[in-house]
Amino acid sequence: MSVSIDWLAFLQVFVAALVGAAAIVTFYAIGLRLLVRSGHAPVVSPAEFTDAITVVSEKELRRAEKQAAKAAKKSPLTDGQKRLALVGAYACFAMCAVAVIAGILIIVIGH
């Protein structure tokens, strides 16, 4: 009994996974950047864990929200540019979702 490895198929899967991961990360980063430029900076309250090293207090959370609101007001973009950036951000996030769903469908259906 001998084991044979199809190295070309292995290389194809490796390159496809690398390109897919890079595309998802790139679209997410661009989408997040456009979201911030549109004045919708995401402020996420931290989850509290019993063994957390750092816990953000309510005061720090309010300060972060205040800084995000202040940054949104100082944006040099016009309302139309902000709206376009928001649409672009949602389009980038949609591309991330499409890439993930396509990968899952390729695995489930194409295999």
| pTM tops 0.75 | no
**What would the pLDDT profile of 36-62 be if each residue is shown by its tens digit?**
888 887 766 656 665 656 666 788 878
User: pLDDT, tens digit, for every residue of 75-91?
Assistant: 777 888 889 999 999 99
The CA distance from 89 to 52, in Å, is 32
HSE-CB at 67 with a 13 A cutoff on CA atoms is 8
Taking the CB of residue 35, how many other CB atoms lie within 10 A of it?
19
- Only one residue has tokens 């001998």, namely 2
DSSP string, 59-104: HHHHHHHHHHHHHHHT--S-HHHHHHHHHHHHHHHHHHHHHHHHHH
